[in-house]
Amino acid sequence: MDLYVLFFYFFALLTVISAFVVVFARNIVHAAFALMFTFFGVAALYVLLYADFVAVTQLLVYVGGILVLIIFGVMLTTRMFSVEMKTGTLNILPATIFTAILAGILIFVFSVTDWGVVPDQEFDTTVYGIGTLLVNEFILPMQVAGVLLLVAMIGAVMMAARERSKSQSK
């Protein structure tokens, strides 16, 4: 067993165990921090699949944005430690049937898929390929999106300045 396979199993195990902690944790802070390990594990799996752009996007969007938002939301609530998460037993039978069917499909797919890595294949980074496409073929949509985002930011600053001046004048 080579080092690549060991890394894959380590990050897959990290992702699955931390996902279980997210689902079954009683404390919402512990669940949020376990979610961070889940996101890092998924990003590492993307790196192992040579999808470096998706891995960086995973880190920036989920860990840098959504997870920080969740943690700040939890930390800024006044009843952070008195929050009890209660799970009900409302639809256990349909959920169990659906989970069993999904697990059967996943086990079938895992068993019939050839998981071998082709070592002699040359891999380019996905960032280079995406960057080349954006600069060569999609330059006009990229420029339009950039101008649109600039106009939106200027509008947001103007609205915030207007709201601030109204509140200071009262």
pLDDT, tens only, 80-135? 555 555 655 667 888 889 999 999 999 999 888 877 665 555 556 677 777 787 78
CA angle 142/147/153 to nearest 5° reads 125
Element (H, E) at 141: helix 139-169
- For residue 51, give the nearest of 146, 166, 128, 164 by alpha carbon: 128
The answer to whether 34 and 23 have CB atoms below 8 angstroms apart is no
C-alpha 166/C-alpha 143 separation (Å) is: 35
C-alpha 16/C-alpha 45 separation (Å) is: 12
The single-letter code of the amino acid at 25 is: A
pTM value? 0.58
Task: Give 158's pLDDT tier (boundaries 50, 70, 90).
Answer: confident
The answer to whether 127 and 51 have CB atoms below 8 angstroms apart is no
Give, in words, the CATH class of 1-84.
mainly alpha
Q: What pLDDT sits at residue 8?
A: 92
Q: Where are the domains of the chain?
A: 1-84
The answer to whether 80 and 74 have CB atoms below 8 angstroms apart is yes
Q: What pLDDT sits at residue 124?
A: 63
